Amino acid sequence: MKSMVSTSDKILDIAQSLIVAGGYNGFSYADISAAIGIRKASIHHHFPTKAELVAVLVDRYVKQAQAGLQSLREQAASPADQLHLYINYWNTCIRDASQPFCVCAMLAGEMQMLPDEVASRVRAHFQGLAAWLTLVLQAGVEQGQFRLDKRPEEQAQMLMASVHGAMLSARALGDPGLFIAVVAPEISRLRVPAR
């Protein structure tokens, strides 16, 4: 039996693809209306304001990201394997264009122009991701898999910046292979060499 996608989910899906393509200010309700084939009034019925729409979208995205990170923990006990799976997820998304850019990273580029209810959610996403990366790196050090140059919190921020910067480079230059070319050496530097 086919599950029906709700109108609000369709609106969120289109809004997400429009944000990934052009950011918060790069789309309007008219764009969503044209893509889905519903009136703008119908969109306003579900999401009275653009800020509310994007806040709900970020909440959904963060929930999916948290579930994804939890799934990585369940798939792999090894911190090195968890990190590999995380990097591979983004590498695959960028290569097959299924999710070529992190929604929150795109929104973060417009942070000063975002409504507070959106900006606070974007900030919370990055805080959560940094916390997860910190835990993975700490566990990797404890298990002898990683060697860090900085405190785990700082190394997590550097790694997060590397991943999102690599997304940006791959996008800017139209070369999906740049993502792994930038990130792989960063991961290699963290790994303790096999004896």
pLDDT in tens, 93-114: 999 988 778 999 999 999 999 9
| Mean per-residue pLDDT over the chain, rounded | 94
Predicted local distance difference test score (pLDDT) of residue 193: 81
Instruction: Give the CA distances from residue 77 to residues 34, 72, 87, in Å, rounded to whole numbers and listed in that order.
Output: 46, 9, 16
Output phi, psi for 100, to 5 deg.
-75, -5
Number of residues written out for the chain: 195
Q: Does pLDDT of 22 surpass 80?
A: yes
pLDDT: is 176 or 100 the higher one? 176
What integer is the mean pLDDT of 67-74?
94
Instruction: Evaluate whether 110 touches 24 at the Cβ level (below 8 Å).
Output: yes
CA dihedral sign of residues 90, 98, 38, 21: positive
Predicted local distance difference test score (pLDDT) of residue 2: 47
* pLDDT above 90 coverage of the chain, percent: 92
For the whole model, what pTM was predicted? Answer: 0.91
What integer is the mean pLDDT of 156-183?
95
Cβ–Cβ contacts within 10 Å for residue 6, how many?
A: 10
Q: Does pLDDT of 132 surpass 70?
A: yes
Name the band, by pLDDT with cuts 50, 70 and 90, for residue 142: very high
